[in-house]
Structure 1
Amino acid sequence: MKRLVLIALLATSQALMAGACVVRARPAPVVATAVAVGVAGVALAPPAPRVVHFETRPGYVWIEGRWAYRAGAWEWAPGYWVAARPGFVYVQGFWRVDGGRHIWVPGRWQRARRGHVWVRGYWHWNGARHVWVPGRWQTSRRGHVWVHGHWVQGSGGRHRWVSGHWKRPRRVRRR
């Protein structure tokens, strides 16, 4: 009985400690999050996702920032870089709506699939609100490269979304 009580206390303390926390380190902020067992989610929808522009860094993966619900208010937790894991792709976390509650689904590493490319998930504006479009595996196309969806700045400083697409790389002529 004492052992069962000890196990229950340990599990409860770990679940409580697993709540979202923000750890700031230099040079880039690091956000460590976990979902505690039994968390029912948040009724209030998170604000629109922030658009962040960044240059790619060879050997690193960008973990997108997100809105976190803390102390009764939404707080932005900025994105950060992590070292890439050879043979894996990072699947970004996202907010899932279940029964009117918003539940954070943490990001994870997933083993790469031979002959496929990972098409990253993204936030889509449906005219009323932002909706998460989950990532998926797409069969590779011979002689093509996948260009991930991204934001580009147009005239007047306005940004527009360019959907992901296949592209033939330009051939470099040798002299």
Structure 2
Amino acid sequence: MKKLIFFLIIAVSMIQANAQFSKATLQANGLTCALCSNAINKSLQKVGFVESVKSDIKNTAFNIQFKQGSEVNVDQIRKAVEEAGFSVGSLKLTGDFNNLKVENDQHHKIGNANFHFVKVKDQVLNGEQTITIVDKNFVSDKTFKAMKAATQKDCINTGKASHCCSDVAQGARIYHTTI
């Protein structure tokens, strides 16, 4: 019985551990001064899974470190930036991947979140890798339009699973990403 329980624990942890996001680089739009940067910095530091934030004022970027073992919510990061009065220009998540097979125009579960990879080569992600969120409100209109043209799936328009997403529960949040 102990062996069975041990096996189940290992199996569940392997399923959940295909990736763990450890940090992000966020570029914000609309910054004009150090006070703007400070407002975003303070807002991001209030997000529960954020360990630390370091501003790169020269590049209007923020280097975000996540708390180890915490579940990262991409929409909460965007919301924190918007609550400070700005918008996200780009968001890149870096994680430690363990044999995650990525296929173009397919959905993949990372932690508890659904990711739809667009404009990528089929590959297996191992070790530290960075992915870029390409949903509306995370990239420029021009970039979003290019990503939208690269998929036949309607979920890119809403960020929610629809009839095109047979492998994801209807209405579930889907983050569109590229490598």
Superposition TM-score tier, normalisation by shorter sequence:
under 0.3
Name the one with the larger strand percent.
1
* Larger Cα-atom Rg: 1
Name the one with the larger helix percent.
2
| TM-score, length-scaled by structure 1 | 0.22
| TM-score, length-scaled by structure 2 | 0.22
Structure number with higher relative contact order (C-alpha < 8 Å, ≥ 6 residues apart) = 2
